[in-house]
Amino acid sequence: MRNNIFFMLLIGLLSALCGKLNAREVTSFNTGWEFKKGPFSQDAMQAAGKWNAGWQKVTVPHTWNADDMQKKVSAFYEGVGYYRKKHTFSESLKGKRLFLRFEGVGSCAEVYVNGYLVGTHKGAYSAFACEIGSQVKFGEENEIIVKADNTARPDVIPTNHVLFGVYGGMYRPVWLVVTEPCNIVVDDCASPGVYITQKNVSRKSAEVSVKVKLDNATLVPVPLTLENTIYDGNGKLVKTHSQSLELTPQGVQSHASQFKLNNPRLWQGREDPYLYKVVSRLMQDGRVVDEVIQPLGLRKYEAVAGKGFFLNGKKHPMHGVTRHQDWWGLGSALTNQEHDFDLAQIMDIGATTVRFAHYQQSEYLYSRCDTLGLIIWAEIPFVNRVTGQEWDNAHQQMRELIRQSFNHPSIYVWGIHNEVYHPHGYTAALTQSIHDLCKLEDPDRYTVSVNGYGHADHPVNQNADIQGMNRYFGWYERKIQDIGPWIEKMEKEYPWQRLMLTEYGADANIDHQTEILGDALNWTSPFYPETFQTKTHEYQWSVISRHPYILASYLWNMFDFAVPTSNRGSMPARNMKGLMTFDRKIKKDSYFWYKANWSKEPVLYLTQRRNVLRERKETSVTVYSNIGTPKVYLNGRELTDVRKGYTDVHYLFDRVLLADGKNVLRAVVSHQGKEYVDEIEWEYRGECNREADFLEHKQEHGSW
């Protein structure tokens, strides 16, 4: 009996391996590339002299702007770069279909194989696929050239580098995809070719539809079998559906399977990000000729005006951050390691939702959000300005975003535009048209557009399901405290509106510190104290948290990032509104404010640890603690004048008298049998004015 079981297992394993050999093969195509800056004429590309000299060996992901776009204002290379690779395709691949799938090339691309143009693409942030088999010489060396160009163009969004820099190059991975002549379509906007929709989701049941797009590259009809199978999180078969079909060569054809799952386990955000798996197999004569695996997270999203955001019928806190993808010294050419690091910080702070701004981001990142339970806002880079020439490309990029990201359960909304205004009529019409496209491609998700003016009847508003508004009270307008009256006015005048606060905050240069703060700061000043950012977030989050009318809020930004056209706060080419520095080495005070308010992990944190040189002898001490009232000691003496601040984790110790010279502050809390301690040092040398000192030093020496 035991031998029989072993034999059956062996036969099953061999069958699976044999089937897999005939299924889709996806391999990394990231090594062996050379790079050089251009431009060169088409004739020069065929010539030997200058074209063949000066190539630099690189590994993809790669960008040519990792340094220059981050250090000097408007001094970066914006133009053409070339990538070249020599590759021999095995004779065994004859009769197969070959595709190169690029996850991201900034920003316009042309792909050549052995001198023949095999594909083009406009847009830095979405994937695209080129079928190359007809131009490949099997068993011989082939030359593959990718021409990339990140020059701002009026017909490609974003149309400028104003809000963020569009890094040039092949900055995301490249894959070689090999399939049989009949396949699950590869080049449907570089999507998986499988589209999973869900209806009537509850803990009692859920209806699931799996649509598969198929393609036949032969010249005759082919009898095939399409099998769609749902597996649970442990790999156990839940349900399967098989259908026989005759696939004709006349274009892409769609076939669907319908399922009803009883008592499903739901995808419940960070609380329980449970995933099923959908496996779509295309079979011919009993063998698998293609296979695609996609995630299935069963969930129901509801944004209810005036009441809040609901996940599977349960009110869900939308504690949101925004994220730009670039890193100091790396630009946008990131590996999964950098994406994982960023997600770890977002999880650590206790965020439940992320706005990935202002463009489509890494597929790996979206997949990780599926498994982590983060609820995602995905958007296209229709930002800042219109030219009147971007209509077609904006639609193209939205279609690509939706099709490529369709099956990620973490995505709840498609972002259409951010702070795009004049001309109002054109912008409104384009926004409405993209909204209509979203509903045609994916009627089950929300759409959102974002305005910075703060009133619902602005001419470009109300063309999407959700109205986002960016408000920087105390920074770009009015005072920090004006956020409260604004929310109350909006709720009174527009109670029907689904409103989200989609950006708020203030810049913070960690080298700028002061305890002398007002309720507004002139953002054109060279002085960007971290303490003002902290004050802004302390007050404004406390207001946001009390108003369910704000369905979700997204602080700007999780990390500092490059803005190559900007020179503010004594830091060229930088937006410093992040809770962490651009190099990800320092967490600003605001980081711990949100972690204390949002996270379930213990937090005890003394603020202003970088504001070491104190301006006032009598000052105050701020502590964030989500584990109880802290005891604070100054030079060994306990401080007793404590009061609660804006939220339950906010503790303030007033009328603290510093000693001349060094002062040691120590905060202590005992919680669940463990003692937590935080300690910082301050120095007092007499009264001073930090901003005046800074400006005088800046004028004399040009740096701080």
Q: Name the residues annotated as catalytic.
A: 419
Bridge partners of 196, per DSSP, are: 210
- Helices in 442-502 by DSSP H: which ranges? 483-493
Q: How far apart (Å, rounded) are the C-alpha atoms in residues 433 and 440? A: 11
Task: Give the single-character DSSP code of 630.
Answer: P
Q: How far apart (Å, rounded) are the C-alpha atoms in residues 425 and 63? A: 37
Q: How far apart (Å, rounded) are the C-alpha atoms in residues 466 and 498? A: 5
Q: Where are the beta strands (DSSP E) in 365-461?
A: 375-379, 411-418, 446-451
Pairing of the two strands 25-28 and 272-273: unpaired
Contact 678, 671 (CB under 8 A): no
Closest CA to 611 of 520, 523, 530, 527: 530
Q: How far apart (Å, rounded) are the C-alpha atoms in residues 301 and 628? A: 34
Sheet order of strands, 56-58 included: 56-58, 33-37, 80-88, 141-149, 108-113, 116-122
Query: Which pair of tokens denotes residue 522?
Result: 């002139």
Helix, strand, coil % (nearest 5) of the chain?
20, 40, 40
Task: Give the single-character DSSP code of 465.
Answer: S
Upper half-sphere CA count for residue 326 (Cβ side, 13 Å): 28
Q: How far apart (Å, rounded) are the C-alpha atoms in residues 482 and 476? A: 12
Q: How far apart (Å, rounded) are the C-alpha atoms in residues 397 and 648? A: 44
Query: Which pair of tokens denotes residue 586?
Result: 């320092």
